[in-house]
Structure 1
């Protein structure tokens, strides 16, 4: 007898109900799984499977930038997106703790970041933004000088 479909996850607030379901384990047996409060995953396909392939978490979007591809030309690509997640049954101790998966550019990830490692990346990106501000100021001046040379 198949399990009923898993209802979509929502972020709990106030007296929102705890979301739990029975998960059939591929290797045999079952367990009752409960989403942590921050989980927004739907878990539609998580009524059965290997015990260690379950994750809970939420995704965050990044801005789109027009990146150039020699075959496709320029196209908007999300950057600095990611996901906060936990893999409660993973064999990796780092994955069993809440961790961040950062996607600096679409389909390229930095996995299993701790809060301190994520802070280090944020610091590097902020420092690079300061460099970009300096380059922008120089670029504006260079462009203005060039404009003055036009007939």
Structure 2
């Protein structure tokens, strides 16, 4: 199927939302309401702190320059006698909690990450900046270098992809079980448009929308639904660090919206 989207076309309406049945019990509402929104990105401090303490072993004054962005409060250690191995710099992510049923519903931290440096550790790996991932409350994957952290990220992405596949299957199964007919655009028209922009770009960079043909030439004349994707040439931009952060956040949002379109398309195809 070939299709040209007119440059003047601007579909009306909001973004397509995922087809999720609202919970009907107080317990399920409580569980969903207990899941907070994702935390915002944080920016590390630009200037690392330099301070000193007294080595409790020999009385020698030691000078420390913190890990850039360190959030540890070293006030109780500064100019005090402490063991060097007790100096610990850390950058923490904001906690996200999810409700877990352990016989009773409890909030557990999920996938928290810290960047750490223990400058006087007896272990060389800990003297270098490294990451710890708290998979769930008090269960850690520790002392990760960049390659090891990337492996953890890859595993997490794979698990998320499998959950997204399960989500699509669940939408289809529940629609079928409840006799729902998924909505599609009228033949020959587009549904609500989603788009991606970049800071400073003149217009959107890429757009997508659910589209319904007049008929399916390979079928019995029934409309054929597809996701139309088109780019706007000339919508370029030059990004600084803040702009790149915003662009990445918008890319993640667009991915969620495209998955919603995909789920709606899958439900339409199952219902044919």
1:85 matched to which residue of 2? 116
Kept in 2: contact 1:61–1:78 (CA 8 A)? no
Partners of 1:107 and 1:45 in 2: how far apart? 25
1:23 matched to which residue of 2? 53
Alignment match of 1:34 (pick from 65, 81, 85): 65
Structure number with greater Rg is: 2
Long gaps (5+) in structure 1 = 1-10
Instruction: Determine which structure has greater relative contact order: mean sequence separation of CA pairs < 8 Å that are 6+ residues apart, divided by chain length.
Output: 2
Partners of 2:143 and 2:67 in 1: how far apart? 18
Alignment match of 1:56 (pick from 63, 86, 89): 89
Q: Please, what TM-score do these two structures have when normalized by structure 1?
A: 0.79
Partners of 2:67 and 2:175 in 1: how far apart? 55
1:107 paired with 2:168, answer no
Give the secondary-structure state (helix, strand or coil) at the position aligned to 2:178. Answer: helix
Across the aligned residues of Structure 1 and Structure 2, the Cα RMSD in angstroms comes to: 1.7
Partners of 1:75 and 1:113 in 2: how far apart? 29
Q: Which runs of 4+ in 1 moved over 6 A?
A: none
Partners of 1:75 and 1:83 in 2: how far apart? 23
1:135 matched to which residue of 2? 166
**By percentage of residues, which structure has more strand?**
1
Partners of 2:92 and 2:77 in 1: how far apart? 17
Kept in 2: contact 1:61–1:80 (CA 8 A)? no
2:148 matched to which residue of 1? 117
Q: Please, what TM-score do these two structures have when normalized by structure 2?
A: 0.46
Partners of 1:19 and 1:61 in 2: how far apart? 22
1:61–1:12 Cα change, 3 Å: closer
Partners of 1:136 and 1:108 in 2: how far apart? 27
